[in-house]
Amino acid sequence: MQQNGSRKLFVNIAVRDLKKSMEFFSKLGFTFNPKFTDENAACMVVNDEAFVMLLSEQFFRTFTKR
């Protein structure tokens, strides 16, 4: 099956301390897209097609009723 266009992958991960998590991943060489980063979430760029959303635990809970 042939796909038109590219696909993007976003993975959501809950973190206890967003600022410390961003500092940790920055030290490993990852960058963050400021367009999708605020006090609740940070968009970590893995490559042009893959991103990890670091979400504060409180914000992450709004995505599910569990």
Q: What is the pLDDT of residue 55?
A: 98
CB 22 within 8 A of CB 60: no
Which two three-digit tokens encode residue 39?
Answer: 């006090």
* pLDDT over 90 at 6, yes or no: no
Q: What is the pLDDT of residue 3?
A: 63
Q: Please state, in angstroms and rounded to a whole number, the distance separating the CA atoms of residues 23 and 1.
A: 41
Q: What is the pLDDT of residue 4?
A: 67
Q: What is the pLDDT of residue 13?
A: 97
Query: What does pTM read for this prediction?
Result: 0.85
Which two three-digit tokens encode residue 7?
Answer: 């696909």
Helix, strand, coil shares of the chain, percent, nearest 5, are: 30, 35, 35
Topology adopted by domain 9-63: 2,3-Dihydroxybiphenyl 1,2-Dioxygenase; domain 1 (3.10.180)
Average pLDDT over residues 60-64: 89
What are the pLDDT digits (tens) for 32-60?
999 999 999 999 999 999 999 999 999 99
Q: Please state, in angstroms and rounded to a whole number, the distance separating the CA atoms of residues 66 and 58.
A: 12
